[in-house]
Amino acid sequence: MVARSWEHLFNPDGKYVRMKNRIRQEIRQRIAGLDQMVRYARGLAACKHLTCQEEFLKADVVMIFLSMPDEVDTTPVALAAWQMDKTVLAPAISWQHRRLTPMEITSLETGIKTIHHAIPEPTENRPVTIEMIDLIIVPALAYDRTGHRLGRGHGFYDRFLAHDECHARTCGLILREQLVDSLPVQPHDISVDMVVTDEDVLRFNR
């Protein structure tokens, strides 16, 4: 079984950074150990699972993440959304202000740049207010079986999802190697409503 608990790493001194970095390293090793074509095929399966879910089908405005090499490629999600006449958003990143701004995108081939930390983001200035979003696909290096996520340590999505006007459903999209039994959690960590992998669809009562 791939899933694993890191509860034994918890300590009362709150040394979460070291704990999370250890988990990040292990998850990255798991992903790197997968054959590239296998990883692509299973990522495609995860996307197909997502686009069949009620949360996706009912959403008019969907915010995806523009994938990095070690993430599930969200291209099929965007294409399916456009085919269903949905509005597709992606986050523009302000590193200075440590925040995300949802921008409408109409292509994955133009109007996209990769500058900071190899993270693609939209270049065209078409912001959409956060309260308009129905479904947010939230990236992570790992999720656990209660919906807690392990990001890359910048905190952008925790701040974004904590916004008072954010009423969207939230969904993690990962491979099964990125699903673990439990993760160390801090008070500011924001969990998601559901997690979709190439094998499972998990929903959580909030």
What are the residue boundaries of the structural domains of the chain, listed by start?
A: 14-203
Q: Up-side HSE of residue 113: CA atoms within 13 Å toward CB?
A: 8
Supply the pLDDT for residue 114: 87
Alpha-helical (H) ranges within the chain are: 16-32, 36-51, 54-58, 75-83, 156-161
Supply the pLDDT for residue 75: 97
Interatomic CA distance for residues 149 and 179, integer angstroms? 9
Supply the pLDDT for residue 60: 98
Ranges of the chain with pLDDT below 70 = 1-15, 206
Supply the pLDDT for residue 1: 40
Tokens encoding 121 = 């983001």
Classify domain 14-203 by CATH architecture: 3-Layer(aba) Sandwich (3.40)
